[in-house]
Amino acid sequence: MIQEKHKGMSLIVKTITRLTVGFIILYGIYIISHGHVSPGGGFAGGVIIALSFIHLMLAYGKEETLKRLPHNAASILESIGALLFLMIAVLGFTGGSFFLNFIPKGEPFRLFSAGIIPLCNVAISFKVSAGLFAIFVALVLLKLDTEKKE
């Protein structure tokens, strides 16, 4: 029993998690992609995506989740997100200024509008989701070390 408990929660929780995690991620993507036309954006969407991974981890246990989602990937994605954001900002120099919105802004309230804002949202969401997940993993792994010593 203890062994089983160590590997995550009960079957019901695991099944429900498996069914809902996809929707949560989808909702996060929706929030990110509509960040420039409605409330939300890269940060909020990124948090939702990070929460879906944390949700997986809570249901299935540390070992199982870390096998599928190595936390190195999180730190790499985080750096990529930051570099992407910086790159978008630096590309503004093509129009003459740092952070310039150099893509045509299009019509308001359309999905493809607002120039670089959606791209920035995507970059931020990478950074935030990977970062929050990495923080969570770091805290969890730290706890593992303590338990080992005792």
Q: Which residues bind another protein (CB under 8 A)?
A: 38-39, 43, 75-76, 78-80, 82-83, 86, 89-90, 92-93, 95-101, 108-109, 132, 135, 138-139, 142-143, 145-146, 149
Whose Cβ is closer to another protein: residue 17's or residue 130's? Answer: 130
What percent of the chain is helix, strand and coil (3-state, nearest 5)? 75, 0, 25
Backbone CA torsion sign across 43, 75, 6, 146: negative
Tally of CA atoms within 13 A in the half-sphere of 41 that contains its CB: 10
Q: What does the chain come to in residues?
A: 150
**DSSP H helical segments within 7-116, as ranges?**
11-33, 42-60, 62-68, 71-91
Residue 46's closest CA among 70, 24, 72? Answer: 24
Burial class (CB in 10 A: 0-12, 13-18, 19+), 108: exposed
Nearer to another protein, 8 or 81 (CB): 81
The distance of closest approach from Cβ of residue 135 to another protein in the complex, given in angstroms and rounded to an integer, is: 5
> Residue 15 CB, nearest distance to another protein (Å)?
31
Q: CB of 11: closest distance to another protein in angstroms?
A: 31
20/75 with CB nearer another protein: 75
Least distance between another protein and beta carbon 4 (Å): 27
Residue number, 17 or 53, with CB nearest to another protein? 53
Q: Which is nearer to another protein, 16 or 76 (CB)?
A: 76
In the complex, least distance from residue 100 CB atom to another protein, rounded to whole angstroms: 5
Backbone dihedral region for residue 100 (phi beyond 0: left; psi -120 to 50: alpha; all else: beta): beta
